[in-house]
Amino acid sequence: MDIIHLLPDSVANQIAAGEVIQRPASCLKELVENSLDAGATRIQVIVRDAGRTLLQVIDNGIGMSEMDARLAFERHATSKIREAQDLFSLRTMGFRGEALASICAVAQVEMTTRRAEDETGTLIEIHGSDVVRQEPCVCPVGTNIKVSNLFFNVPVRRKFLKTDQTELRNLLTEFYHIVLVYPKVNFTFVHNDEIILELPSGTEKQRIEAIFGNPKRNVYTSAFVEVNTETELVSIRGFVVKPENATRKAEQYFFVNGRYMRHPYFQKAVLTAYSGMLTADYQPSFFIYFDINPESIDVNIHPTKTEIKFADEQAIFQILMASVREALGKFTLAPTIDFDTRGAIDIPAPSTEHVSRPQVAVDPTYNPFHTRGTIYPDKTPQKWESLYEAPQSSRNIDIPEFRDAEMPLWQYNGKYIFVPGEEGLTMIHQHRAHVTVLYHRFLDQMTHAQGASQQLLFPEVISLSPDDMVLIEQITGDLRAIGFDLEQLSPDSYSIQGVPAQMADQSPVPVLQQIIEKVRSRGADTQSEWREQIALSLAQSTAIPLGKSLNEQEMRQIVGDLMQLPSHRLTPDGKTIVSLLTNEEIEKKF
Ligand code: ADP
Ligand code: MG
């Protein structure tokens, strides 16, 4: 008996869908790219429940004929490529003819579409690859496609979806990647009947301003200088922030031939151009657009990958670095750039790890926010708990008989607290000790909602970008629990009326911005994850700084509090708090 048989189309499409449509954001990307390919000048995105129940894209593009409307949902149906070799000179967005087939395999799709030359349009409804309705209809020129109940027939995929807030942020990130390269196109983004973004047609600069403009993210275009370089190999344009306008939370975007790409190696080129000009922890925002002959890049065939391989990466690295340096040198007076050092800069070899062959594997954990974390040189996110478990060999160092109030202790160098004991001299890093004490206190307050709040005489206003608004909504409950008194003022701002008592004289806006940035950059998606990030960020902002002189009572308080913790060896982010100089080590020195 023969045992090989062809998979029914619906099954094949569902398998393909796993590859192309991983989450609402990937569906949105495909739909909007189709609208752009259709020459639309106005595109409306309407989303409900972060795309779970509805993702609708309305465009005024060329529309489809009755026949094409049906064909569009077949696999490998495309109007964009006829021969395999077209793949190499590709300039349109989609080209595999897979997106619509994949989407309709895992959702309920209703589409109306009409071309300018047709009097009536076509309505087509498809549920899980089955055409349930197709009829003429009255509709405007263009295409209106409504994707409902995504993954209704793939419970496993539905389960992989994160919270609405996270999925909405994913949608917005994907949306930014597209709208930043089509400033001439008018876009609207509506979520649950609320207009989140309204982007009129304009220049690239205006588009950047409309999304990230001051004071939403401190990325305001007056802080930018223009980069503009033409070479035979590549043309590079865009905007880079002046060194003095670098921020803790930066927006860093590369685009190549009108497509967003991630490129850690080129990112290094930009950072190298800034070397010596930035304060530690500060990052430059940039929006850089490459134009290059499509034949010299690896047209990556995988629709969900954002990495692109260039034939001549090292040369482009040099050109990019030089043009950013030149732009910075031209417009910034101080600090002056020492061009003599240019030759001395180490140019790292292109890393090959980010160049992956097109893969077919599904990565259900793919989340663009996790990749942002790599911008920051800190450790990769880890579970704090695991850091807390001291390795078997190194036990907690006992801080000697601390309950004995007679025990002498003193501050050294404005940084350390020294406590002599039987085994030797215990040295405690005062700032880290306090961070760790506060971290546990804040975590505890979030669990029990009991943080003390101090009302501000003059409430302050924090303005946020749409995706940060989504994020803050997600974490306000926990922020309130530790003493923030927040009230939403407008669709893009909150007023801060009270702060945790601990914050005393700190200015609340930067502290809150830092919390948001930490939660965002660490991709903290679950409540326990974001609580850890909030607690750590607030503890770092409010702990006693290095260099502050402490009186005896303050020292006893910190060391006493530290002793109460289950573990006092490491800070939540893994730094050493306590170290022991043993008696033998001291002896050996003489
Ligand atoms: P691809 O974009 O790779 O060609 P898709 O499955 O995304 O594949 O779309 C299939 C075809 O349907 C497209 O080639 C195009 O002809 C047509 N199409 C899809 N969306 C639109 C739209 N918004 N307006 C006009 N035509 C569209
Ligand atoms: Mg497409």
Give nearest CA residue, ligand 1 atom 17: 72
Which residue out of 9, 60, 100 has the highest number of ligand 1 atoms within 8 Å of its CB and is therefore the one to mutate? 100
Task: State the Cα–Cα distance between residues 525 and 523, nearest whole angstrom.
Answer: 6
Q: State residue 316 phi and psi, 5-degree precision.
A: -70, -35
Give nearest CA residue, ligand 1 atom 13: 78
**pLDDT computed for residue 185 by the predictor:** 97
The CB density around residue 137, as the number of other CB atoms within 10 Å, is 13
Whether the upstream peptide bond of residue 264 has omega within 30° of 0, thus cis, is: no
Report residue 176 as tokens. Answer: 């930014």
Give nearest CA residue, ligand 1 atom 2: 94
The distance from CA 30 to its chain's CA centroid, rounded to whole angstroms, is 20
Atom of ligand 1 nearest to the CA of 59: 23
Cross-strand partners of 427: 418, 579
Please check whether residue 469 is in contact with residue 491, taking contact to mean a CB–CB distance below 8 angstroms.
yes
Residue type, position 125, single letter:
E
Whole-model pTM?
0.64
**pLDDT computed for residue 397 by the predictor:** 56
**pLDDT computed for residue 220 by the predictor:** 64
Cα(30) to centroid of ligand 2, in Å? 5
Ligand found nearest the CA of 121: 1
Contacts of 587 (CB under 8 A, 6+ apart): none
Give nearest CA residue, ligand 1 atom 20: 34
Report residue 268 as tokens. Answer: 């290094």
Report residue 71 as tokens. Answer: 């064909």
Q: How long a stretch of residues is the chain? A: 590
Look at residue 472 and give its three-state secondary structure: helix
Cα(99) to centroid of ligand 2, in Å? 5
Give nearest CA residue, ligand 1 atom 14: 78
Cα(358) to centroid of ligand 1, in Å? 22
Hey, what's the torsion of the CAs at 461, 462, 464, 470, to 10 degrees?
-100
Task: State the Cα–Cα distance between residues 533 and 446, nearest whole angstrom.
Answer: 12
Cα torsion angle, 533, 537, 538, 539, sign: positive
Cα torsion angle, 392, 394, 400, 403, sign: negative
Q: Is 490 exposed, middle or buried (0-12, 13-18, 19+ CB in 10 A)?
A: exposed
Which residue out of 20, 34, 74, 129 has the highest number of ligand 1 atoms within 8 Å of its CB and is therefore the one to mutate? 34
Task: State the Cα–Cα distance between residues 472 and 461, nearest whole angstrom.
Answer: 14
**pLDDT computed for residue 215 by the predictor:** 52
Give nearest CA residue, ligand 1 atom 1: 97
Contacts of 316 (CB under 8 A, 6+ apart): 233, 234, 266, 269, 290, 310
Helix or strand (DSSP H, E) at 336: none
Widest Cα–Cα separation across the chain: 99
Q: Which residues of the chain have pLDDT under 70?
A: 1, 3-20, 77, 80-96, 214-221, 299-306, 331-406
Atom of ligand 1 nearest to the CA of 101: 6
Cross-strand partners of 397: none
Hey, what's the torsion of the CAs at 514, 515, 516, 518, to 10 degrees?
80
**pLDDT computed for residue 363 by the predictor:** 39
**pLDDT computed for residue 93 by the predictor:** 45
Helix or strand (DSSP H, E) at 230: strand 224-230
Cα(141) to centroid of ligand 1, in Å? 15
Report residue 69 as tokens. Answer: 């409307």
The two counts, helices (H) then strands (E), for the chain are 17, 22
Q: For strands 186-191 and 194-199, give the pairing.
A: antiparallel
Cα(359) to centroid of ligand 2, in Å? 19
User: How many CA within 13 A on the CB side of residue 273?
Assistant: 26
Q: Is 273 exposed, middle or buried (0-12, 13-18, 19+ CB in 10 A)?
A: buried
Ligand found nearest the CA of 114: 1
Cα(78) to centroid of ligand 1, in Å? 6
Report residue 81 as tokens. Answer: 């490529």
Q: Give the residue among 542, 523, 402 at the shortest CA–CA distance from 471.
A: 523
Q: For strands 259-261 and 224-230, give the pairing.
A: unpaired
**pLDDT computed for residue 333 by the predictor:** 46
Tens-place pLDDT, residues 67-99: 999 999 987 767 765 444 444 444 444 446 778
The full 3-state SS of 511-570, as one line of letters, equals: HHHHHHHHHHHCCCCCHHHHHHHHHHHHHHHHCCCCCCCCCHHHHHHHHHHHHHCCCCCE
Ligand found nearest the CA of 57: 1
Which residue out of 13, 57, 78, 109 has the highest number of ligand 1 atoms within 8 Å of its CB and is therefore the one to mutate? 78
Task: State the Cα–Cα distance between residues 488 and 469, nearest whole angstrom.
Answer: 10
Question: Starting from the edge strand earliest in sequence, which strands make up the sheet with 42-48, in order?
Answer: 130-137, 121-127, 108-114, 142-148, 54-59, 42-48, 186-191, 194-199
Cα(34) to centroid of ligand 1, in Å? 5
Please check whether residue 402 is in contact with residue 419, taking contact to mean a CB–CB distance below 8 angstroms.
yes
Residue located via tokens 């999925």 = 167
Atom of ligand 1 nearest to the CA of 33: 2
Ligand found nearest the CA of 81: 1
Please check whether residue 534 is in contact with residue 479, taking contact to mean a CB–CB distance below 8 angstroms.
yes
CA-CA distances (angstroms) from residue 121 to 12, 33, 63, 69, 110? 30, 21, 9, 10, 13
Cα(82) to centroid of ligand 1, in Å? 14
Cα(38) to centroid of ligand 2, in Å? 10
Task: State the Cα–Cα distance between residues 455 and 487, nearest whole angstrom.
Answer: 13
Atom of ligand 1 nearest to the CA of 103: 6
Any residues with Cβ below 6 Å from ligand 1, and which?
30, 34-35, 38, 59, 61-64, 72, 77-80, 94-101, 143
Cα(115) to centroid of ligand 1, in Å? 14
Please check whether residue 273 is in contact with residue 324, taking contact to mean a CB–CB distance below 8 angstroms.
yes
Provide the H-helix boundaries in 353-429: 368-372, 384-388
Cα(108) to centroid of ligand 2, in Å? 18
